[in-house]
Amino acid sequence: MSLIQSFVSSVQNIARIPELRKKLLVTLGLLIVYRIGFVVPIPGVNTAAVMQLVQQQSQTPIGAIMNLVDLVSGGAFLSCTLFALGIMPYISSSIIFQLLVKVIPSWEQMQKEGEAGRRRINQWTRYATILIAVLQSFFMMSSLRIQQPGLVTGGWEFLPISILSLTTGTMFLMWLGEKITDHGIGNGASIIIMAGIVANIPQSLRDLLMKFWQGSVAFPAVVAVIVSFLLTVAGVIFITQGQRRIPIQQAKYTRGGRVYGGQRHYIPLRVNMAGVMPIIFASALLAFPNILISLIPGGQNSPIGSLFVERGSFVYVLLYVGLTFFFSYFWNQLIFNPMDMANNMKEWGSFVPGIRPGKKTAEFLEQIMNRITLAGATFLAFIAVMPLMLFRWTGIGFVFLLGGTSILIVVGVALDLVQKIESHLLMRHYKGFLGGGGIRGRR
């Protein structure tokens, strides 16, 4: 009861802060605009025929990829609406430029120049988003035309109109995400992705209950799905908030008889610093051999093809886990450079107690980061494989929505949103969102 009272009190405190109230209303209003685009169909597409085709190919690699893209786009992909591509072209472009900035020295220097350099890179990211959206919409609409007759209507004008519609929808979503980031609360692109996933939950839950009511799904299977969902949420929160704090001591110096410095602080290293990116990279890389095998006549029925194409097979799971570990280390090496961190600490007169500044500090940070990455990669591998194993046992496709990548995204974005609300409340001398002193990372 006290938790409910604390929550109600926190909501009242949010309403008392004009700035926070305005940010939340702007975010909610833009999300409503985002959902309106789901009722605007793409001209010339037979939605019912497309849905029937997807159901027929749901167990194939292409169908699995379609379901994954549809999950992130909030159900707009399979329904062929204006926002069918979602904001994923912008996310893909951002990831590409994040990698290129680390690889190309001139771009890395440009980013370090300040706001002007970052603004220029963001402009390139937007141009790349248009290119990616055009290519994805071209392949998507072209595949619909050649799949089977009846999926699309119209002649030669269908392709340019559909490409223009999908690209415009993606650019509008990118604009919405930037407006949420600037005038709302939280990261706009992440909130849009979370809203798309959450929007699928009521319908999927309704379908699960209907199957249970009709007797096609057993009661133990439903209980297993619910328990796995709760355990997954608890595990994601635990790992997302978990961090290793490296103690940092600032050097003391005397100036005019006064002693300055000497403060002690920490470098927080998150256990899951890579977030959901390793799972996305691993899923995308596994999709290519599956698609190639499915295009070869009789490839899926061959001994090698069946191992790779069947989701949940031993080879598929082994490759999935191995790629998740690889991309976890790869991504952490890109975003965290121990040598740069050690050099910055040395320039600012800080050091790790008991470790010599410079190369020794870099080796110490790299050793700690490798151990943390091992724990985070193990967790991500379990999160990625768990829905596959549960699906093989229960046969319920709902597990892909309530487990794995989707829950990792939703919980991560929700925690970030709550932390930003906490900071506004604590800055006005209110209690935290849940009545405490703010969300703190587990040591």
Instruction: Report how far residue 186's alpha carbon sits from residue 192's, in angstroms, rounded to the nearest whole number.
Output: 10
Whether the CB-CB separation of 147 and 64 falls below 8 Å is answered with no
What is the bridge-based pairing of β-strands 258-261 and 252-255?
Answer: antiparallel
CB count in 10 Å sphere of residue 152? 21
**Count of all residues that appear for the chain in the document:** 443
59-68, 120-129, 406-415: which has the highest mean pLDDT? 120-129
Instruction: Report how far residue 328's alpha carbon sits from residue 207's, in angstroms, rounded to the nearest whole number.
Output: 35
Of all residues in the chain, what percent carry a pLDDT higher than 70? 72
Q: What are phi and psi of 17, to 5 degrees?
A: -100, 110
Please state the rounded mean pLDDT for residues 413-423.
83
pLDDT at 6: 67
pLDDT at 57: 56
**3-state SS string for the chain:** CHHHHHHHHHHHHHHHCHHHHHHHHHHHHHHHHHHHHHHCECCCECHHHHHHHHHHCCCCHHHHHHHHHHHHCCCHHHHCECCCCCCHHHHHHHHHHHHHHHHCHHHHHHHHCCHHHHHHHHHHHHHHHHHHHHHHHHHHHHHHHHHCCCCECCCCCHHHHHHHHHHHHHHHHHHHHHHHHHHCCCCHHHHHHHHHHHHHHHHHHHHHHHHHHHCCCCHHHHHHHHHHHHHHHHHHHHHHHEEEEEEEEECEEEECCEEEECCEEEEEEECCCCCCHHHHHHHHHHHHHHHHHHHCCCCCCCHHHHHHHCCCCHHHHHHHHHHHHHHHHHHHHHHCCHHHHHHHHHHCCEECCCCCCCHHHHHHHHHHHHHHHHHHHHHHHHHHHHHHHHHHHHCCHHHHCCCCHHHHHHHHHHHHHHHHHHHHHHHCCCCCCCCCCCCCCEC
- Whether residue 381 is predicted with pLDDT greater than 80 in this model: the reply is yes
When mean pLDDT is compared across 148-162, 198-212, 321-335, 358-372, the lowest value belongs to: 148-162
Model confidence at 238, in pLDDT bands (50, 70, 90)?
confident
Query: By CB neighbour count within 10 A (0-12 exposed, 13-18 middle, 19+ buried), where does 134 fall?
Result: middle
- Whether residue 174 is predicted with pLDDT greater than 80 in this model: the reply is yes
Average pLDDT of the chain is 76
Pick 387 or 251 by higher pLDDT.
387
Instruction: Report how far residue 162's alpha carbon sits from residue 134's, in angstroms, rounded to the nearest whole number.
Output: 10
Please state the rounded mean pLDDT for residues 239-267.
74
Instruction: Report how far residue 135's alpha carbon sits from residue 132's, in angstroms, rounded to the nearest whole number.
Output: 5
Whether the CB-CB separation of 162 and 44 falls below 8 Å is answered with yes
- Whether residue 230 is predicted with pLDDT greater than 70 in this model: the reply is yes
- Whether residue 215 is predicted with pLDDT greater than 60 in this model: the reply is yes
pLDDT at 283: 73
Q: Spell out the domains of the chain, with CATH numbers in brackets.
A: 23-199 (1.10.3370.10), 217-443 (1.10.3370.10)
**Residues forming a β-bridge with 258:** 255
Please state the rounded mean pLDDT for residues 341-351.
80
- Whether residue 434 is predicted with pLDDT greater than 60 in this model: the reply is no
Whether the CB-CB separation of 421 and 433 falls below 8 Å is answered with yes
Nearest residue to 42 (alpha-carbon basis) of 132, 141, 127, 122? 141
36-45, 167-176, 342-351: which has the highest mean pLDDT? 167-176
pLDDT in tens, 85-124: 878 788 888 888 887 887 788 887 887 777 788 888 888 8
Instruction: Calculate the CA 17 to chain-centre distance.
Output: 30
Cβ-based neighbours of 288, under 8 Å, separated by 6 or more: none
Instruction: Report how far residue 391's alpha carbon sits from residue 162's, in angstroms, rounded to the nearest whole number.
Output: 35
Whether the CB-CB separation of 83 and 193 falls below 8 Å is answered with no
Pick 127 or 224 by higher pLDDT.
127
When mean pLDDT is compared across 73-82, 95-104, 127-136, the lowest value belongs to: 73-82
Model confidence at 68, in pLDDT bands (50, 70, 90)?
low
When mean pLDDT is compared across 124-128, 141-145, 238-242, the lowest value belongs to: 141-145
Helix axes 61-72, 277-295, angle to 10 degrees: 150
Nearest residue to 153 (alpha-carbon basis) of 47, 284, 242, 81? 47
pLDDT at 36: 83
pLDDT at 387: 78
Instruction: Report how far residue 72's alpha carbon sits from residue 404's, in angstroms, rounded to the nearest whole number.
Output: 13
pLDDT at 419: 82
pLDDT in tens, 281-329: 777 677 666 656 655 555 555 555 555 555 666 777 888 888 889 888 8
pLDDT in tens, 259-280: 556 677 788 888 888 777 787 7
Cβ-based neighbours of 232, under 8 Å, separated by 6 or more: 383, 386, 402, 403, 404, 407
Instruction: Report how far residue 409's alpha carbon sits from residue 129's, in angstroms, rounded to the nearest whole number.
Output: 21
Query: In the numeric block, which tokens belong to residue 180?
Result: 């949420």
State pTM to two decimals. Answer: 0.77
Model confidence at 252, in pLDDT bands (50, 70, 90)?
low
